[in-house]
Amino acid sequence: MYRLAAFDVDGTLLKSDSSLSEATHQALKTMKEAGIEIVISSGRPLPGVELIQDLVGKDLVRYLSSFNGGRIVDSWSDNQVIFEAVLPPAEVDEICDFLADYDVDINTYDDHNVLGLKSPKHDYMAHEAKLTGMPIKIEDFRETGAKVNKLMVTGEPSYLETVRQDLPKEWFDRWNIVKSAPYFLEFNPLEANKGSGLAHLSQEIGVDQEQTMAFGDQENDLTMVEWAGLGVAMGNAVASVKAVADFVTHTNDEEGISHVVDQFINTD
């Protein structure tokens, strides 16, 4: 019997037009009625995840995992923090200094803003602001002492992939470096990823690994799809996520979540 299900947002929970289908909404209700806790797991900051909770319904979603598992809260207990990981200032400086001469934009977040290190050269930071519902504030967050749960690096997709290839190889053993979209390259503390976040939450609320489900489509979803008792890759998922999944469902535009509920959740 499954007791906990974690859902990525874009490309998974939402359709390509960023809407929540009625079939997906009903599938979540069916899971909740079957005793399964629903978790929204996103790379977005907490205010951006709360927007999705509002869309789905606060009565259906209790736990929110933001920053790729870097901050997990219990929204029914005044956002009590269950787990949090932060990049130390020296590491933020190291990453920003290395990327200073690249044609990319760098941002982090506070509780109300997308904090841009400099005025953005591309439109992708504005896209992130729209997704999260948070305005852009230009601020040298290295000097102000802002808490950095995640550094976001944005740029043209092909160029950003070149930047990733240029990163020192040992960095991938020091930080969780993943793409959540072709134009989003994200740096989290090594202990912060969606899989470890799901593991922390499961332990906190007394759910066994085999009682968990995880749904995702992008590189930053891979760890939770791999860790979960039932890891589900959407039909539109990247190849690496499909490779570790226990089940590949239909795409996010073809009611992939509803299909899994029909296949695996016993509502009798």
**Which of 212, 170, 172 lies closest to 194, judged by CA?**
212
201 with 248, same domain?
Answer: yes
CA 188 – CA 149 distance, rounded (Å):
7
181 with 213, same domain?
Answer: no
Burial status of residue 250 (CB atoms within 10 A of its CB: 0-12, 13-18, 19 or more): middle
pLDDT at position 198 over 90: yes
146 with 198, same domain?
Answer: no
CA 70 – CA 219 distance, rounded (Å):
16
Mean pLDDT confidence for 86-92: 97
CA distances from 267 to 34, 173, 263 (A): 6, 43, 11
pLDDT at position 267 over 90: no
If one counts the domains in the chain, the total is 2
pLDDT at position 268 over 90: no
158 with 210, same domain?
Answer: no
User: Which alpha helices (DSSP H) does 104-193 contain, by range?
Assistant: 124-132, 141-144, 157-166
pLDDT digits (tens, 9 = 90+) for 103-133: 999 999 999 999 999 999 999 999 999 999 9
- What is the structure's pLDDT at 233? 98
46 with 120, same domain?
Answer: no
How many residues make up the chain in this entry?
268
Q: Which of 147, 162, 188 is the last residue of a domain?
A: 188
Instruction: Give the DSSP letter of residue 236.
Output: T
- What is the structure's pLDDT at 32? 96
71 with 53, same domain?
Answer: yes
pLDDT at position 74 over 80: yes
- What is the structure's pLDDT at 266? 61
116 with 172, same domain?
Answer: yes
75 with 144, same domain?
Answer: no
CB count in 10 Å sphere of residue 54: 11
pLDDT digits (tens, 9 = 90+) for 5-36: 999 999 999 999 999 999 999 999 999 999 99
Mean pLDDT confidence for 207-227: 97
104 with 178, same domain?
Answer: yes
CA distances from 18 to 5, 38, 210 (A): 20, 19, 30
pLDDT at position 38 over 90: yes
Tokens at 172, concatenated: 């991938």
175 with 142, same domain?
Answer: yes
Tokens at 203, concatenated: 């332990």
Please, what is the average pLDDT of the chain? 96
CA 82 – CA 199 distance, rounded (Å):
11
- What is the structure's pLDDT at 227? 98
Q: Which of 140, 158, 188 is the last residue of a domain?
A: 188
Tokens at 20, concatenated: 């929540």
Element (H, E) at 19: none
Pairing of strands 212-216, 151-154: unpaired
93 with 140, same domain?
Answer: yes
- What is the structure's pLDDT at 95? 98
* Domain, as residue range, for 242: 4-84+192-264
CA distances from 77 to 2, 39, 62, 64, 74 (A): 23, 15, 9, 12, 5
CATH number at 169 reads 3.30.1240.10
Q: Which of 145, 172, 188 is the last residue of a domain?
A: 188
Instruction: Give the DSSP letter of residue 12.
Output: I
Tokens at 38, concatenated: 């629903």
